[in-house]
Structure 1
Amino acid sequence: MLAYCTGGLVLDVPAKSLPSLVDWTLKEARLGQPKLSGPGKDADPLIVLTDAALERYGLPVALTEEERLAGRIPEGHKVIKQLMPAGWKLTKRGFGPWARIYRPAKGSGRRCVQLCIPSWNALDSRHWGHAAQLAPADLARVLGVYASRVMTPRGSTAVTGLELMTALHPPTHAVRDEATGGFRQADEKTPGSLGKDPVDCAPCEAPDGHPLLADLPRFHRRTPAEVLVEEAYNWARPLTDAECLRPYLVGIDVNMAFAAGANGLTVGLGAPTYVKNPVFDAKLPGSWLVDLSHVDLSRVKLAKEWTDLDGELLPSPFTPKGERPEGPAWYATPTVAYAVELGYDVRPIEAYVRHDNGRYLDAWYNRLRDAYLATMADLGVPAGASPEEFLKAMDGYRQRDPELAIVVSAIKATVKGGIGKLRERPRGEGWKPGQPWRALARPTWRPDIRAAVISRTRTNMHRKIVKHAAFTGQYPVAVLSDCAVYASDGPSPLEFLPYRDGKPLPGGFKLGINPGLVKWEGTQEVLWGEEVRERFNAPELNLARYIKDGTVTDVDNGE
């Protein structure tokens, strides 16, 4: 057996069983990665088992349908029985595509090995592309670049995104024990971290099925005044007569939008505090019950000056579907702060605020931003390029090095998946309300942080849309998450983005590779959009979903 390592290193592996492979990995190969934060721990080594390795160590090359649904092989499998006499243990998730084999830690030495099994679908093709089909040396390169720039994978990209947050802000740290002279774990949490104990969310932040909602009547559907709904945009409208006369629909997409939304964002670190009739504080993270139905998008404040717009052609910044609120509803702090920014008074009815707060996601953002920019630069797309140079560099960048392009996709998925994992829901068709919900035992189960990031991402997008409309008189015809579609006289984004002497509109859309800037998503003819909507009898079909390649095989109405 051979071990293909990062940097082209190839090692002979003498191990003839899985327990001996784990021992060899820790004692002889000494694989792993240094810690990312001072109080943190070194990363455990990752071993990827190819089909040949699976056969050698007595593991199935493919899971049965029953094993696939369970996410693991049976506990009575002969290989698992080999591990137990040697003192090795498995986590509660068992022996699945991302198995963790460990012994209780002693001192600072590593006592854990992570396994990745591609043929068991460990490398989801939605995020890792064709990585599972790569030769061992090529896969080692892909995972090695990802590990060096992000972190050693700890599971899916979503799991790794969450683990990266913890690795950068470890919940605990060592302190010297005055009695013994040695070190022990501190009683208090590490400053800036979420700590090691989970905290309850506010009732309005709890998703359906959460234990906090156990007393609600069966089939009760909560109203906006009962539940916080901060989600990404899914909004579209019919084209105006003037837009129908333009030949093209052009889509632009915000790079790493959710990462940009997390940058500099103050989020809660501890439990919420309930407040009745609070005075809104834009610096205080939390959830606010407030009526924003009076905000009129036909007249907003920009740069301290009131500006008139066509409010009928704009999505509301307060709801995912872009509909104007009809009364009081729960919102995260960035959404309410944006209403104030637009020039309107807000008077919250009640709130759940978090006085223990901080910029928890800044280091996470910086790590992922740097990984993304470095990998895109390797693919020939540098930061700081002119708009024309940027569009040219982005054309076919994935074909320049398909393996590095896989890393780019994985980094993006780490961002979105990590944010989504903050409000992980129970999985499996058999789960019912009232049954154990394992994610709630994690200190990183924080729906309020997810809501704040999405709130900020959506209002960031709306701010750019409004400034673009005020300056150019152009309005989007569709917005889907981080993609906006405009009617245009030409097929390029440069045809409608207001550049002057190479400089963009301040605060508007700007072409570039940095998170928060935009890239070209795709162009279709206006006639295509009208034909698609007519064919599916959907006058407000969200064309942003299909703008990239124009393929529409079925309609997703966003429900």
Structure 2
Amino acid sequence: MASEEELFANIEALLAEEPQLPPPAERARLREAAGITQARLAQALKSTTQTVKNWENGRSEPKPPRLEAYKRLLEGWAAKYPAHASPVPAPAPSPAAEPQPVPKTFSAPSAPAPQEAAPPPALAAAPAAPAAPERPVRPAGTSRRPAAKKAAAPALDPRFPHGPLAVLDGDGSAYGVDGIVLDCPATTIPELVEWTLRESGLGAAKLNRHGKDSDPLIALTATAAVKLGLPERLEGHEERRSLRLPEDHPVVKQVTKAKWQLTQRGFGPWARIYRKAQGSQRQCVQLAVLSWDALDERSWPGVAEMEPADIARVLGVYAQRVITPRGSTAVSGLELMTALRPPTKAVQDPETGNWVSGYNPGSLGTEPMDPAPPEATTEHPVVVGSGWKGGFLNEEAYQWARSVELLSDEECLLPYAIGLDLNTAFLAASARLVVGLSGPDHFNTPKFNPKIPGSWLVDLSHIELDPRLPSPFTPDGTRPTGPAWYQTHTVAYAQELGHDVHPIEAYLRRETGAYLDPWHDRLKTAYVDTLADLGVTKDLDDQQFLAAMERHKQTDPALAAVLAAIKATVKGGVGKLRERPQGRKYKDGDRWPALERPTWRPDIRAAVISKARVNMHRKLNNMAKMTGLYPLAVLSDCVVYPSPGASPLDFLPYAASGKPQPGGFRLGPTPGLAKLEGVQEMAWAVDLMEKGLNPARHIKGGDAVLDEGE
């Protein structure tokens, strides 16, 4: 016989258990019967609308202290609105509609799999509100997503049923794509890595058949980081992106003891933890520590402050449309190039018949390549070691403002200055861009060929152009003063304008290809699709387009952040092609880590920027011919024009039919077309120009400062 004390102890244990809730469908019925919206309920419980949706569709469960408050509210509603009182009785949940534990995709090889609880029996239909059933136990790595919802989700690789990534919170909830929530039992970083690889079902398929699958990404919230033994913030005096955990930190020791490795970057905001691959199976997990500024505010605006489920949505959409993040957007942009153009593929050895790794045509290969001296930077070993004094390529984006003396009275009397911004101008320039795939060869007095990518020493200083336009040959828009090095597109544009060119010297590449084409295509699709999701579609007329662009960021802040990240991926990826050395200890002439990448290609960066600048000048020139208007200033992909009205429609060229004239600036949502950047008074722009400042830098915000390197 059990003693009275033992019985009371058992009762106390039952009372201490989590309150039981009615099934998800009943929660939604009770709220709707009370006439309360999901948003209002979320506000009352200090939560988010998405969280309430998850509770009502079975994707997640509330946790204390919201659990007790939510249960009390549902009990009150159940007393007021019993199921039999509804005009249409709520249908009894069917087995297909009930949240069912999803079997784990992987089982740990070194330990027996934990025993899974059997799914609860289906509830019988009843006219009254059903009693709250016992909540099923969710084993580690199982989904809270209802089985019935799974069919509506996008098709996923069966090897990675839970998508490419998850955001881990301090309570062990790992929020994935499409609202999925996994239970993660890990309490240390090594346990988290094992869980991710063996049980989570996270990862993404390769983007090219010769490439590699994307490693799973786990983003850690501040509470998750602390729970796993990491500091909430990284402190130090160096630039934050270079901060790392010291090698003697307990977490680094845990990783090493568990026979995992860190890359040379160490354990920083973006940490890669890996072991050597077992056959074709990779063993690598990417971590992003959110409270260590892994998501730069400039590239991911507002994302770090979002709820974990919303962060997972932003990163998930980016991963599905671009690539699973592996670092900054610049790093991801560069990684995307390699993922779409893998350096190697399987080839058959003609002698042995065995399959071996061989060069993948159209790629940059596996070996780093030294640039020609004029394509390098001043600190590069090929320059310092050779004593090169022959000058360098200066293919950079425009930073130009017209001289105030060249403004006419008619222009100064116009009421407005309007800024136009070209959508992802560098991306547009990368389309069908032929670049060198082999090393540079040196030539003396070559005949110019616009189809051969390379660097040309040529004198363009004799070319006379309208001073109201920037020179197409220099970033600051001034006329060249003598021979200088130019990328092929710049020299070809001089020919296009009707001038003879006679190169003195050149570094050219014999093997060529449109290396960036798949990169362009994927990012263009991601950009256009994300804009369309925000209500900016291709079928809008110009007036509708301007209105849609004005409100698109408020339509869905999460998707607006994805759009910003896509744009940052383009610019950052191009910039990474010529990454400079970092750190105070660096000495000119030493090699730096970026030089060991096949994707350290300053000549490809120069080709993209040269083509983008030439494209901009071509439009400026055509605008002058069609409208008689000349720009006030240009900054990279932004141009400012004087205007008789406060809208671009007041000065852009249109045919009698109402269609935009080809050749000039056109409004639209695709790369290379324009959108409104800002509107200011003309007097404001003239005042800046008189101070030597660039109105294009400030047209968006209106305020100008004197310390921007003007």
- State whether TM-score is above 0.5: yes
Q: Is the 8 A contact 1:541 1:557 kept in 2?
A: no
Aligned equivalents of 2:350, 2:495: Cα separation in 1 = 52
Matched to 1:479, the amino acid is: V
- Counterpart of 1:341? 496
* 1:247 equivalenced with 2:247 (yes/no): no
Q: Could you say what the CA RMSD is over the residues aligned between the two structures, in angstroms? A: 1.6
Aligned AA (2:463): V
Equivalent position SS for 2:506: strand
Question: Residue 598 of structure 2: which of 443, 447, 453 is its match?
Answer: 443
Q: Does 1:398 align with 2:398?
A: no
1:214 aligned residue: 384
Look up the match of 1:305.
none
Give the aligned residue type for 2:494: A
Question: 1:413 is paired with a residue of what secondary structure?
Answer: helix
Q: What is the correspondence of 1:59-458 to structure 2 with a 5 Å cutoff?
A: 59-66=230-237, 68=240, 70-176=242-348, 183-186=355-358, 189-215=359-385, 226-237=391-402, 238=404, 239-297=407-465, 311-458=466-613
Aligned-partner Cα distance in 1 for 2:704–2:191: 52
Residue 153 to residue 69, structure 1, CA distance change in 2 (3 Å): closer
What's the counterpart of residue 684 of structure 2? 528
Q: Which residue of structure 2 aligns with residue 545 of structure 1? A: 697
Which one has a bigger Cα radius of gyration? 2
The equivalent of 1:300 in structure 2 is: none
What's the CA shift for 1:174?
1.8
Identify which of structures 1 and 2 has the higher relative contact order when contacts are C-alpha pairs closer than 8 Å and 6+ apart: 1
* 1:76 Cα deviation from its structure 2 partner: 1.3
Whether the 8 Å contact between 2:225 and 2:231 is mirrored in structure 1 is yes
Give the deviation of 1:77 after TM superposition: 1.1
Q: CA deviation at 1:66?
A: 4.8
Deviation, structure 1 residue 526: 1.0
CA distance in structure 2 between the partners assigned to 1:350 and 1:14 by the alignment: 64
Cα distance in 1 for residues equivalent to 2:476 and 2:258? 56
Is the partner of 1:451 in helix, strand or coil? helix
Q: Kindly provide the amino acid, as one letter, of the partner of residue 227 in structure 2.
A: R
Distance in 1 between residues matched to 2:632 and 2:667, nearest whole Å: 20
Corresponding residue number in structure 2 for 1:511: 667
Q: Cα–Cα, structure 1 residues 104 and 181, in superposed 2: closer, same or farther, change >3 Å?
A: farther
Deviation at 1:154, TM superposition (A): 0.9
Closer/same/farther in 2, CA of residues 488 and 66 from structure 1, 3 Å limit: closer
Q: Cα gap change, 1:491/1:143 in structure 2, threshold over 3 Å: closer, same or farther? A: same
Is residue 176–residue 312 contact of structure 2 (8 Å, CA) maintained in 1? yes
Tell me how far apart the structure 1 counterparts of residues 524 and 328 of structure 2 sit (CA, whole Å).
19
Amino acid at match of 1:346: V
8 Å CA contact 1:267–1:452 kept in 2: the answer is yes
Secondary structure at the aligned position of 1:40 is classed as coil
Residues 181 and 31 of structure 1, relative CA distance in 2, 3 Å threshold:
farther
Secondary structure of the equivalent of 1:146?
A: helix
One-letter identity of the residue aligned with 1:554: L
* Alpha-carbon distance, 1:206 to partner: 0.8
* Residues 182 and 53 (structure 1), Cα distance of their counterparts in 2 relative to 1, 3 Å cut: farther
Q: Is the 8 A contact 1:290 1:328 kept in 2?
A: yes
Deviates more, 1:92-101 or 1:376-385: 376-385
- Give the stretch that moved more between structures: 448-457 or 168-177: 168-177
TM-score, scaled to structure 1:
0.93
Aligned to 1:308: none
Q: Aligned partners of 2:423, 2:498: CA distance in 1, in Å? A: 28
Structure 2 counterpart of 1:542, one-letter code: N
Rounded Cα–Cα distance in structure 2 between residues aligned with 1:487 and 1:147 = 41
- Which amino acid is the alignment partner of residue 227 of structure 1? F
Of 456-465 and 396-405, deviating more is 396-405
2:43 match: none
CA contact (8 A) 1:468 1:505 kept: no
Q: Is the 8 A contact 1:290 1:350 kept in 2?
A: yes
Where in structure 2 are there 5+ consecutive unaligned residues?
1-171
Taking the aligned partners of 1:210 and 1:132, their CA distance within structure 2 comes to: 37
Equivalent residues of 1:278, 1:350 under 8 A apart? yes
Deviation at 1:181, TM superposition (A): 6.7
| Residues 83-116 of structure 1 deviation map (CA, whole Å, 9 limit, x = unaligned) | 1232211111101100000011122213100000
**Equivalents in 1 of 2:351, 2:243: separation in Å?**
46
Indicate the residue corresponding to 1:301 in structure 2. Answer: none
- Letter paired with 1:102: Y
Q: Which residue of 1 aligns with 2:95?
A: none
Cα distance, 1:183 vs structure 2 = 3.7
Deviations 1:466-485 (A, max 9, x none): 01101111110101100111
Please report how far the alpha carbon of residue 73 of structure 1 lies from its aligned counterpart in structure 2 after TM superposition.
0.4
CA contact (8 A) 2:241 2:269 kept: no
> Secondary structure at the residue paired with 1:154?
coil
Structure-2 separation of matches of 1:384 and 1:336:
37
Q: Secondary structure at the match of 2:476?
A: coil
**Structure 2 vs 1, CA of residues 547 and 173 (structure 1 numbering), >3 Å: closer, same or farther?**
same
Q: Give me the whole-angstrom Cα distance separating, in 1, the residues matched to 2:652 and 2:515.
A: 34
Contact 2:461–2:479 (8 Å) recurs in 1: yes
More divergent stretch after superposition (256-265 vs 82-91)? 82-91
Q: CA deviation at 1:555?
A: 4.4
What are the Cα deviations for residues 379-409 of structure 1, in whole angstroms up to 9, with x where unaligned? 0000232111111111121011011100000
Tell me the distance in 2 between the aligned counterparts of 1:180 and 1:104.
Answer: 27
Deviations 1:146-171 (A, max 9, x none): 00000000100000000000000000
Deviates most, 469-478 or 547-556: 547-556
Distance 2:412 2:464 in 1: 26
Contact preservation (8 Å) 2:189, 2:251: yes
Do the aligned partners of 2:401 and 2:689 also contact (CA within 8 Å) in 1? no
Task: Give the secondary structure class of the aligned counterpart of 1:521.
Answer: strand
Q: Which residue of 2 aligns with 1:23?
A: 194
Q: Distance in 2 between matches of 1:341 and 1:177?
A: 47
Mapped contact 1:386–1:502 kept (Cα < 8 A) = no
Q: d(CA) in 2 for partners of 1:532 and 1:296? A: 27
Q: Which amino acid aligns with 1:172?
A: T
Tell me, yes or no, if the aligned pair for 1:384 and 1:512 is still in contact at 8 Å: no
Stretches of structure 1 lacking an aligned partner (at least 5 in a row): 298-310
Aligned-pair distance for 1:141?
A: 0.1
| Corresponding residue of 1:306 | none
Amino acid at match of 1:519: K
In the TM superposition, residue 294 of structure 1 has moved relative to its aligned partner by 2.0
Alignment partners' CA distance in 2, 1:469 and 1:135? 49
Q: CA deviation at 1:178?
A: 7.0
Distance 1:543 1:272, change over 3 A: same
**Identical-pair percentage:** 58
Give the Cα separation in 2 of the matches to 1:533 and 1:19. 58
How far did residue 182 of structure 1 move? 5.7
Shift of residue 69 of structure 1?
A: 6.9
